[in-house]
Amino acid sequence: MVGGPVLTAAQMRAAEQAAFDAGVDDYGLMETAGAAAAAIIWRAGHRRDTLILCGPGNNGGDGYVIARILRDHGVPVRVAALGESRTPSGQRARAAWAGPVEDMMTAAPATQLVDALFGTGLARGLDEGVAARLCALAGAAVLTHAVDLPSGVETDSGAILSAVPQFGTCIALGAYKPAHLLHPAAGVVARLMLADIGIATPGTVRRLAAPKLAAPDAGAHKYSRGLVAVVGGAMPGAAALAAGAAAHAGAGMVRLHAAAGQAIPHAIVSQAADDLTDPRIRALLVGPGLGRDAQAAQRLARALAAGHPTVLDADALMLLAGAIERIPAGAILTPHEGEFQRLFGDLPGSKIDRALAAARKSGAVVVYKGADSVIAAPDGRAAVARGASPWLSTAGTGDVLAGLCAGRLAVTGDPFRAAGEAVWLHGEAARRAGAAFVADDLLGALPAAIAARL
Ligand SMILES: NC(=O)C1=CN([C@@H]2O[C@H](COP(=O)(O)OP(=O)(O)OC[C@H]3O[C@@H](n4cnc5c(N)ncnc54)[C@H](O)[C@@H]3O)[C@@H](O)[C@H]2O)[C@@H](O)CC1
Ligand SMILES: [K+]
């Protein structure tokens, strides 16, 4: 379930420095990076007329290398710069281009635009006129590529510091950066590609990848596949939805502890009493539709006392605000922005930093959900999901995610893995459900989403 590495600007510089210390040639690395990017651009654009915008740093250096390689392939290439090259490698790449360099502010547009203005060295937003020119040139192009990062996005936070156009492709060099995955920056790129530049990029933060799932073995029975208990409460629909998701996530059996008489899927066993002592329970979910009154608090306390692997969502998280020491070690928490704030307050740094800090503080796996979801473990591992369907912004989808976490936890017994699989399945079910779906439709899309990963 873990994909390519996600490095901050400083971590990327350290990885490059380690490569240089080990004897990798400075300019050679730029040639490798430029060649990797040029290969992707060539596949997309072939001989379309191309304008490459080169900035003053090494990102611009990559641009000059790309320009030279594409020209050697017979592509009609023009280069337009924003100032002189200031780095030794950039200057060398500029000299090796050996063609004219126009002024970016007056250069005519082309069918294909390559943005090599700024990458991880961006220190502030682009000047207004420069950003507007970038947007105009991108708007006039049919194909647009950002080298390493779209110029104007902050590498580590994913903030947008100045006007940035939409890019067809972004070619991440060597590793993903947080801005490739975190919103709003992630939203300006349609297709994200990772180019290998041949250096080691160690780190514990990765992009969330499609998981490898397993079918039940031949001797499986409902308890061996995992029993999930879902604690209901004031709003029975939410818990029923979560229970349905847990069942569709591959658990062998789901028990919903809720008031009798409500409509629930036939496969789910309803049990009115809160007897959560069954030792066969492999995952317990509490929160969706729980309510926040004294009775809800009591049900939460009983659930926590049962000592099973636990998923805490929605009202359970609100009830635990100010009391994170009550969160059992190894639990999965699934807060949205508001719940996260209530639980952990204003933490510094990017969404990845905040998720990691929350996981450390709580000792739980934190699924910090949203348009970008970060799954963080107390040991420092994190997986970042890019771009789920915006149609997920509808009532009940959070209950489905919580149910998926519980279902996968019952199956795998590993909270970090379960949370990653759940987030991925949730996003994939949404993709398959298409547009304007309701949360219930996600359940119907889950079997095919799972089948595709066996
Ligand atoms: N270190 C290396 O040798 C390699 C770096 N690579 C490329 O180099 C990039 C990083 O290079 P740099 O660290 O030189 O950084 P950049 O090329 O991103 O830009 C840094 C330069 O832009 C200036 N600057 C920053 N923000 C500005 C703004 N808003 N307006 C005007 N000027 C601004 C800085 O003062 C500095 O001169 C990566 O994103 C990647 O594309 C790749 O070539 C791989 C090898
Ligand atoms: K760029």
199: pLDDT strictly greater than 70: yes
Mean pLDDT of 34-62: 97
| Rounded to 5°, angle at Cα 388 from 386 and 392 | 155
Is 371 annotated among the ligand-binding residues?
yes
Give distance in angstroms: CA of 122 to centre of ligand 1.
6
Mean pLDDT of 447-452: 96
Domain ranges in the chain are 2-203, 227-451
pLDDT classification of 388: cutoffs 50, 70, 90:
confident
Closest ligand 1 atom to residue 125 Cα is 29
SS3 406: helix
Mean pLDDT of 253-267: 78
66: pLDDT strictly greater than 70: yes
Using a pLDDT cut of 90, give the percent of the chain over it: 90
Nearest CA to ligand 1 atom 45: 30
Among 58, 114, 124, the mutation site with the greatest number of ligand 1 atoms within 8 A of its Cβ is 58
Residue 254 — φ and ψ, nearest 5°?
A: -130, 130
Give distance in angstroms: CA of 31 to centre of ligand 2.
16
- 2-203 shares its CATH topology with 227-451: no
Mean pLDDT of 214-218: 90
DSSP lists the bridge partners of residue 227 as: 253, 281
Fold for 2-203, please state it.
Rossmann fold (3.40.50)
Q: What pLDDT shows up at residue 131?
A: 98
Q: What does DSSP say about strands 167-173 and 189-195: parallel, antiparallel, or unpaired?
A: parallel
Mean of the per-residue pLDDT values for the chain?
95
Q: What pLDDT shows up at residue 222?
A: 85
Among 21, 32, 120, the mutation site with the greatest number of ligand 1 atoms within 8 A of its Cβ is 120
Mean pLDDT of 282-303: 96
- Tens of pLDDT along 138-148? 999 999 999 99
What ipTM goes with this model? 0.97
User: Residue 235: which of 291, 308, 317 has the closest Cα?
Assistant: 291
Mean pLDDT of 104-127: 98
CA-CA distance, 339 to 345, in Å (whole number)? Answer: 9
pLDDT classification of 261: cutoffs 50, 70, 90:
low
- Tens of pLDDT along 87-103? 999 999 999 999 999 99
Least reliable range by pLDDT among 91-105, 176-190, 208-222: 208-222
260: pLDDT strictly greater than 70: no
Mean pLDDT of 263-281: 80
Q: Which CATH superfamily does the domain covering 227-451 fall into?
A: Ribokinase (3.40.1190.20)
CA-CA distance, 429 to 452, in Å (whole number)? Answer: 11
Helices 439-451 and 415-433: angle between axes, nearest 10 degrees: 110
User: Residue 406: which of 297, 298, 301, 257 has the closest Cα?
Assistant: 257
Using a pLDDT cut of 70, give the percent of the chain over it: 98
**Using CA atoms in the order 77, 82, 88, 89, what is the torsion angle rounded to 10 degrees?**
-30
Mean pLDDT of 146-159: 98
Mean pLDDT of 270-277: 78
